[in-house]
Amino acid sequence: MTVKRRARSGVPVPQAVPGPVLAFLYVVGVSISLAWALAVDAPGMELAAVTALAVLGYALALLLVLGPGRLPHAALELLLALSTLLVSAAIYFGGDPASPYTLLYVWAPPYSFALFGRARAARQIALVAAAYAVVLVLLPEAHEGAHHGLWDALRWAALVLAVATVCFVVERLASALSGSNQHLHERARQQAVVSELGRRALAGMELDRLVEEAIGLLRDTLDVELASVLELLPDGKALRMRAGLGWRDGVKESLRIPLASSSIAAYALAHSQPVVTEDLEADERFAGSLVLHEHGVVSAMTVLIEVSGRPFGILGAYTTVRRRFSRNDIHFLQSLANVLAAAVARARSEESARHQALHDPLTGLPNRTLFVERLTGALARARRDGGLVAVLFLDVDHFNVINDSLGHHAGDRVLEALAPRLTAVVRGEDTVARFGGDEFVLLCEDVACEEDARGVAERVLAALDEPLEVAGGVHRVTASMGVAIACGEAVPEAVLRDADSALYRAKERGRARYEVFDEDMRARAVARLATGLALESALERDELRLLFQPVVRAATGEIVAAEALLRWQRPGHGLVLPADFIPIAEQTDQIIRLGEWVLRTACRQCARWNCGRRGGRPLVVSVNLSARQLADPAIVDTVAAALEESGLDPRALGLEITESVLMEDLDAAVRTLCRLRDLGVMIVLDDFGAGYSSLAYVKKLPIEVIKLDRSFAEDLGARGKDGAIVAAVTAMAREIGVAVVAEGIEQAVQAERVARLGCRYAQGFHYARPLAPEHFAEILGRPLPLADGDAAPEPGEGAPPAASAAPTR
């Protein structure tokens, strides 16, 4: 059992005495009494009575040992009184008032002071005095010894002084023990509160709620009237109240404490240490603590909340009555501040991780994930309020040219410079995100009509019209944009798809412009989707066809090569040209499957043609490679497998690439082309002159053949500037050992001019249109026409419709 009494500080502390301890004391005392009675032959000593008292003492000790273990105060008082009576009885039956038994009276007062308050201890001492007085009255020997006089008085005075000294020492020890118990109890309680707050923090409690919980625990544990957490503002010039209890209404929202003020909070932040004051009004250091004075604060204690070595704010406890805060209180307050600091650090870390996960590291703009999240929310609000949402999909025109000519670092600087320009043209509640690469997306909520969206697009184009300073020079960039307007019933994926379709149309129409998605685009998008679905099974249904257009020696008309051109015999649509399905295939991985089929088919066909040829150089077949094919890690293995499977001599295979293919990643393309060249195949640069850095490509790439873009052949018959260009390119190619093929030769005059300008090879409708393999075989081994009247008729009966189709790849 545990009994609580109030210590002199007024705080209840646990108090109880173990029974075995008292049993031990009684056994010792009774044993001494019994031994004295047996050893000393004192006149009047009643041995039987003393023995009976000893037996009673032993029985009492046995009861204490076997009892509940701890006794309440009432039982303790009764036991001490009984012990006093037993001592008195022992003295009486011993017959000597000066017997050593009287020393046993000294036991009761110290125990009384140790176990009880002063009032109860005084009662026990009074009982001892009364009991001894009765003994003195009853014993005749006491009257007979009264003549001792002064000596007896001194002896008893010394005894009383000894008892008083012992009582004082015991009382002081008891008080110290009580204070120590109180200290330990308070410390344990405070540590439990800190542990509970730490547990809530580790459980992931939201930071604002955790701060409120800390304030509540602080006020209840320290029994203060006011508590607060003051947070340092981002500008580092003032503190605001993040959370507080006991303050008047409106203080939390309006309070701003300048760090330049002479307030206790500013002082604590400046000195980075706990600050305690017992009398705030008399403390001249804190004359600027106006809010505290207004709330009648008398005593205050504040500590710093420090996060990752930098001040976050101040945790404070305040009372309206004078109070001396203990060291325990300061440690408790600092422990709470440390828990809050750890929670703030973790919250910042989580926020940083979330920001990095949802924002582009280069521009700091939201990324695709966050944009879709915000678009989803915007559509939900539009569905609720009946508004419209506009999405602008933006792509920087020819961005790869910047990367290739100035380097990727310059390209990154361009993107960084574009981000604030785009943000400046929209409202604060709108979103600008980077989707990746050179693609940006703008989300405009609550759009009234299409004209509002067009206005945003116009502002974007105007913002991009301003030149940029990059890599020490001034550069201009343009962008193509697609605009999609949606109501709340739309889904994010559909809105983005519509904006992307409009962007695709803007690029088709010349770039540096914007297009708004409409129903015609939707129809085309649906048609592209249907085409993509049908294309997936085209290989399995054997719907693909491979046609071949000859490449001739310009001077003689001899066929030296054939370019493989893909067509799709789509049911219900006739023969579909590549322009209608290759871009769709390039948007998916279907182009990899189609390209592999073209490569294997062309190699097998060329191997059959070369097998029947006698003498001379083998016929070369050239196959076009798309950007996705060139970026495919397995492209080298695919080409090697096609050569091995067909048995075609690697020198009889040409792989054609365009400058647009190289613009994705020039360095990676160079590495892949070198590996392909190591197989023994020829690398052909197609559409030469239509790009931006052709000469740089010729210098860097392992090219053996360049094909002049067909645009240069248009004015050859009129003796325009194109002739000079063809002559210059041909001369340059001859110097570096590269062959030149003139494409787009449709007239005899063009054929003659090309030959005269030194271009050794030519290709075009003048010689032959794309032909099926069996029809191409009919014209092999004989020269093709060099004059208008000699244009070769298409061989064979029933030539396929592809004979009249443009040789689009």
**Residue 523 neighbours by CB distance under 10 Å:** 10
Q: Between 737 and 520, whose confidence is greater?
A: 737
Q: Between 210 and 800, whose confidence is greater?
A: 210
- Residue 547 pLDDT: 96
- Residue 656 pLDDT: 94
**Closest listed residue to residue 476, CA positions, set 367, 391, 401, 560:** 401
- Residue 55 pLDDT: 76
- List, in order, residues 6 or more apart from 81 with CB less than 8 Å away: 124, 127
**Closest listed residue to residue 529, CA positions, set 503, 506, 498:** 498
- List, in order, residues 6 or more apart from 445 with CB less than 8 Å away: 378, 381, 382, 387, 389, 429, 430
Check pLDDT > 50 for residue 2.
Answer: no
pLDDT tens string 704-729: 999 988 888 877 765 567 788 888 88
Instruction: Determine the Cα–Cα distance for residues 564 and 807; give it in Å rounded to an integer.
Output: 10
* pTM for the structure as a whole: 0.49
Instruction: Determine the Cα–Cα distance for residues 739 and 690; give it in Å rounded to an integer.
Output: 18
- Residue with token string 């950007």: 627
Most confident of 136-145, 219-228, 532-541: 219-228
- Within 13 Å, how many C-alpha atoms sit on residue 137's CB side? 6
Task: Tell me if residue 35 falls in helix, strand or coil.
Answer: helix
Question: Which residues is 110 bridged to in the sheet?
Answer: none
pLDDT tens string 13-66: 334 445 566 566 656 666 666 666 665 555 545 566 667 766 776 776 676 666
- For the chain, the distance separating the N- and C-terminal CA atoms, rounded to the nearest angstrom, is 98
**Percent of the chain scored above 90 by pLDDT?**
34
Instruction: Determine the Cα–Cα distance for residues 10 and 15; give it in Å rounded to an integer.
Output: 14
- Residue 807 pLDDT: 35
Instruction: Determine the Cα–Cα distance for residues 658 and 627; give it in Å rounded to an integer.
Output: 9
599 in Cβ contact with 623 (< 8 Å): yes
**Residue 234 neighbours by CB distance under 10 Å:** 6
Nearest 5°: the CA angle 403, 407, 410 is 85
**Closest listed residue to residue 178, CA positions, set 166, 170, 190, 189:** 170
Pairing of strands 299-307, 275-277: antiparallel
226 in Cβ contact with 297 (< 8 Å): yes
314 in Cβ contact with 301 (< 8 Å): no
Check pLDDT > 90 for residue 459.
Answer: yes
**Residue 662 neighbours by CB distance under 10 Å:** 26
Q: If pLDDT is split at 50, 70 and 90, which confidence band does 281 have? A: confident
Q: Between 204 and 500, whose confidence is greater?
A: 500
Structure tokens at 626: 């798309």
**Closest listed residue to residue 166, CA positions, set 216, 105, 217:** 105
Q: From the centroid of its chain, how far is CA 26? A: 72
- Residue 579 pLDDT: 85
**Residue 789 neighbours by CB distance under 10 Å:** 6
DSSP 208: H
Pairing of strands 238-245, 256-258: antiparallel
DSSP 632-679: -TTHHHHHHHHHHHHT--GGGEEEEE-HHHHTS-HHHHHHHHHHHHHT
- Residue 795 pLDDT: 40
- Residue 511 pLDDT: 85
Q: Which of 39-48, 183-192, 448-457, 789-798 has the lowest mean pLDDT?
A: 789-798
User: Residues 481-504: what's their mean pLDDT?
Assistant: 91
Task: Tell me if residue 508 falls in helix, strand or coil.
Answer: helix
Instruction: Determine the Cα–Cα distance for residues 432 and 445; give it in Å rounded to an integer.
Output: 12
- Give the amino acid at 305: I
User: Residues 171-190: what's their mean pLDDT?
Assistant: 65
pLDDT tens string 59-98: 766 766 665 555 666 777 777 777 778 777 777 776 766 6
H/E element holding 85?
A: helix 73-94
Q: If pLDDT is split at 50, 70 and 90, which confidence band does 806 have? A: very low
- Residue 666 pLDDT: 75
Structure tokens at 376: 């989803």
Question: Cα separations (Å) of 622 from 43, 204, 684, 800, 809?
Answer: 142, 64, 8, 21, 12
Check pLDDT > 90 for residue 788.
Answer: no
- Residue with token string 């249109």: 769
685 in Cβ contact with 717 (< 8 Å): no
Task: Tell me if residue 133 falls in helix, strand or coil.
Answer: helix
User: Residues 389-407: what's their mean pLDDT?
Assistant: 86
- Residue 3 pLDDT: 33
390 in Cβ contact with 456 (< 8 Å): yes
Most confident of 374-388, 461-475, 613-627: 374-388
Check pLDDT > 80 for residue 316.
Answer: yes
Structure tokens at 101: 């038994």
- Residue 305 pLDDT: 93
- Residue 524 pLDDT: 74
626 in Cβ contact with 658 (< 8 Å): no
Check pLDDT > 60 for residue 809.
Answer: no
- Residue 246 pLDDT: 92
Check pLDDT > 50 for residue 761.
Answer: yes
Check pLDDT > 90 for residue 162.
Answer: no
One-letter-per-residue 3-state SS of 415-480: HHHHHHHHHHCCCCCCEEEEEECCEEEEEEEEECCHHHHHHHHHHHHHHHCCCEEECCEEECCCEE
- Residue 8 pLDDT: 34
pLDDT tens string 215-261: 999 898 888 999 999 999 988 899 999 999 999 999 988 999 998 88
Q: Where are the beta strands (DSSP E) in 544-667?
A: 544-553, 559-570, 574-576, 620-624, 653-657
Mean pLDDT of all residues belonging to the chain: 81
User: Residues 567-595: what's their mean pLDDT?
Assistant: 87
- Give the amino acid at 807: P
Check pLDDT > 90 for residue 552.
Answer: yes
User: Residues 564-588: what's their mean pLDDT?
Assistant: 87
- Within 13 Å, how many C-alpha atoms sit on residue 743's CB side? 20
- Residue 794 pLDDT: 41
Instruction: Determine the Cα–Cα distance for residues 783 and 555; give it in Å rounded to an integer.
Output: 10
483 in Cβ contact with 499 (< 8 Å): yes
